[in-house]
């Protein structure tokens, strides 16, 4: 596991190509030749770096974890002093990421695990690591927000973190079905509203306000 100096070699070009191609076509429909063409390398290079297509799938999921991990670690929502603001800031950040075409904002591992959960255990595990690891980055803030309010609810911080990932993954599926990000944004709005209600930021559970006030764009 000693790492040579990072450079744009065939391996990382293949991994970057995999993120783009698999998100658009799915894992099974993506061929090795296609990946090589997208990365501008030959098949010999592919099988020099990966023993099989499935091994690339695992590496692509890990690469996805690294890439998105860095993106979220550097995101501005961590700067909020209040833990609930950090949680809501995370949700707003996720909504702000809904830019470009559908393949640009959807999730690689959510796509891959659907196709491989029953046939390629190594890929399923890598996808689970990616999703669960990302969810884990939310737990501390959720627990802090709970502790601040002396809450002992029937749900756990962990389950709320995973639920937020479920909403996002499901939102991506609806966006794919409808061909646009709007439906995903609506679902993220519902997630935000749920969290606000859970933590009592919205004092009235039955919302009687008019439609003028919007939830969007608070980051």
Residues that bind DNA (CB under 7 A): 4, 9-11, 30-34, 41-45, 47-49, 51-54
> One symbol per residue from 81 to 120: x for binding a copy of itself (CB under 8 A), - otherwise; what is it?
---------------------xx-----xxx-xxxxxxx-
* Interacting residues with a copy of itself between 115 and 144 (CB under 8 A): 115-119, 124, 127-128, 131-132
| Nearer residue to DNA within complex by CB, 55 or 85 | 55
- Tell me the window of 20-28, 32-40, 65-73, 89-97 that interacts with a copy of itself (CB under 8 A): 20-28
Phi-psi region of 106 (alpha: psi -120 to 50; beta: other; left: phi over 0): beta
| Nearer residue to DNA within complex by CB, 24 or 144 | 24
Instruction: Report, in Å, the least distance between residue 182 CB and a copy of itself.
Output: 10
Give Cβ neighbours of residue 63 (< 8 Å, ≥ 6 apart): 15, 16, 18, 19
| Nearer residue to a copy of itself within complex by CB, 114 or 137 | 114
CA 38/CA 23 separation, integer angstroms: 13
Structure-token pair, residue 173 = 């599926």
Q: Which of 27, 16, 179 is nearest to 113 (CA)?
A: 27
What secondary structure does DSSP assign to 150-168, as a single string? Answer: T---SS-HHHHHHHHHHHH
| Nearer residue to DNA within complex by CB, 26 or 153 | 26
Q: How far is CA 93 from the centre of its chain?
A: 11
Instruction: Report, in Å, the least distance between residue 3 CB and a copy of itself.
Output: 27
């Amino acid at each position: 596991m000693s790492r040579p100096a990072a450079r744009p070699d065939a391996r990382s070009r293949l991994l970057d190509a995999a993120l783009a191609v698999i998100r658009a076509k799915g894992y099974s429909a993506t061929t090795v030749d296609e990946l090589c063409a997208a990365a501008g390398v030959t098949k010999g290079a592919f099988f020099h770096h990966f023993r099989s297509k499935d091994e690339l799938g695992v590496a692509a999921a890990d690469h996805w974890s690294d890439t998105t991990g860095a993106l979220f670690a550097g995101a501005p929502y961590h700067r909020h002093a209040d833990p609930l603001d950090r949680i809501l800031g995370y949700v707003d950040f996720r909504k702000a990421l809904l830019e470009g075409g559908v393949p640009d904002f959807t999730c690689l591992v959510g796509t891959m695990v659907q196709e491989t959960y029953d046939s390629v255990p190594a890929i399923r595990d890598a996808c689970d690591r990616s999703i669960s690891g990302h969810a884990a980055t939310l737990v501390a803030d959720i627990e802090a927000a709970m502790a601040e309010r002396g809450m002992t609810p029937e749900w756990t911080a962990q389950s709320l973190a995973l639920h937020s990932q479920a909403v996002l993954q499901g939102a991506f599926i609806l966006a794919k079905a409808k061909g646009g990000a709007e439906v995903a944004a609506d679902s993220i709005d519902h997630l935000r509203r749920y969290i606000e209600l859970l933590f009592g930021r919205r004092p009235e559970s039955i919302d009687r306000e008019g439609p003028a006030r919007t939830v969007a764009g608070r980051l």
